[in-house]
A and B are shown apart, each in its own frame.
Chain A
Amino acid sequence: MVALSGVDLRLAEGDFLTLFGPNGAGKTTLIRILATLMRPTAGRVLIGGLDVAECTAQVRKLIGVVSHQTFLYRDLTAEENLLLYARLYDVPDPKAEVRKALERVALGHRAGDPVRTLSRGMQQRVSIARAVLHDPAILLLDEPYNGLDQHAAANLTGILQEMALRGRTVLMTTHDLEQGLALSKRVAILSAGRLAYEERAAGLTAASFRALYMDVVEGRA
């Protein structure tokens, strides 16, 4: 089964691209390939000019990933989880950076609580703190708004906007057309493993994009 085929996508430094597509379109597979978790059977992926297949370790330092899964140990505290990742990413002064990262997601007061005692939304916020802890040049987010309450969603939006202002590159997948459109500089639609549409977000209205999305997904465009 071919999950992705002929996907040619370029992101410049500071780009914010949101990838839309129905379930099974290949969004998660694409994110996993970019995140170095999967090797493509054909084609090349370059991140920061580095070939992912050859310079995997260097590429991993450049990227932060937010996924459906939190990548957090339930029985460790939020702080212990982040300290572990800070050490793995060679973050200087890990304790101070972890405190800052938890404050950034408004969870400084729960730093000492085991992750299993946090709500799903709070766990996702700790996961976001983990992803940005090493100040990655590229942030990959796979449906990051899933399971977030309003407060957590606003917090994530704030972090993404701040990252974009600081010239970080963001690639996000989501089913929320309005939110994705509002946040990003470019939008793309993945359908049946192919990049069916790619355009600048400016000038697109939610209504026009929704109609376009339906046309692309249903094969009318």
Chain B
Amino acid sequence: MGFLRKTWALIAKDLAVERRTREALTTMFVFSVMVVVILNFAFELRVENVRQVAPGALWVAFAFAGVLGLNRSLAREREDGCLEGLMLAPVDRTAIFVAKAVANLFFMLGSEAVVLPLFTVLFGMNVVRADLAAVILLGTVGLAAVGTLLAAMAVHTRARDVLLPILLLPVSVPLLIAAAKATGGLLDGAGLAGVAGWLQLLGAFDVLFAAVSYVLFEYVVEE
């Protein structure tokens, strides 16, 4: 019970800080919009190729925007030694990880929710759909879990802004491929049953990434 109460207190803290600053959400949203707009023009989209490039474009925008949000989220903990303050408290390190990952998941999903309607307009295909929401949720859970762990590693280094994408993107390639394939299948009208294999793979990556990050987080933040 104490674990859940403390985890919620930490999540509420992150939400309160973000509500006040809007740093992570604004950064992620602006970056996602720029990526979507640039890719839209770069591919000179026509009806015949839009279905091929849309899934990749969507997940490129989500992944890179997520990197920015994760960096900002952990950098905030570094200012004034806030992470050390949490480490001093009698709170399980896994509670700190779960809280941070859940807060990051909220921020990433929030940013994605705003980008989706814009993507629909620019790419001329409806991505504001319940079946697609399931894929986006599964993909983002994995990114938030492993991204929180790697951002916690990167935040202690001088090259943290560069290090996180270098660490995160290779690790999350299988997850991003599965997410893009599932998205593509749904946009092609395969339905959830048609992309069940990709969804299962996404679920497996989520469990794996969350479990590994949950176990390793303590060792990453301890000195």
Contacts and interface: CB of A to CB of B under 8 A. Distances in A.
Interface of A: 32, 35-39, 57-58, 60-61, 63, 65, 67-76, 80, 84-85, 87-90, 114, 130
Given A76-B13, A80-B16, A90-B2, A85 B85 contact: yes
Given A71-B81, A71-B84, A88 B17 contact: no
Contact of A65 (B2, B10, B82, B88): B88
Given A37-B84, A67-B81, A71-B80, A89 B89 contact: yes
The 3 closest A-B pairs by CB, nearest first: A71-B85, A69-B81, A88-B89
Chain B, interface size category, equals 20 to 34
Nearest to A59: B90
Given A37-B87, A75-B17, A88 B9 contact: yes
Nearest to B23: A75
B91 A88 contact: yes
A73 B223 contact: no
Contact of A69 (B21, B80, B91, B92): B80
A76 B88 contact: no
A71 B223 contact: no
Contacts of A80: 13, 16
B20 A114 contact: yes
A39 B223 CA distance: 7
B76 interface: yes
Interface in B2-47: 2, 5-6, 9-10, 13, 16-17, 20-21
Contacts of B2: 90
Contacts of A87: 5-6, 9
Interface of B: 2, 5-6, 9-10, 13, 16-17, 20-21, 76, 79-82, 84-92, 222-223
B6 A70 contact: no
A57 B17 contact: no
Contacts of A60: 88-90
Given A37-B87, A88-B91, 13 more contacts: A36-B87, A57-B92, A68-B81, A69-B85, A71-B80, A73-B76, A75-B17, A76-B16, A84-B9, A85-B85, A88-B6, A88-B86, A89-B89
Given A60-B90, A87-B5, A87-B9, A75 B84 contact: no
A35 B85 CA distance: 11
A5 to B, nearest CB: 19
A70 to B, nearest CB: 5
Nearest to B86: A88
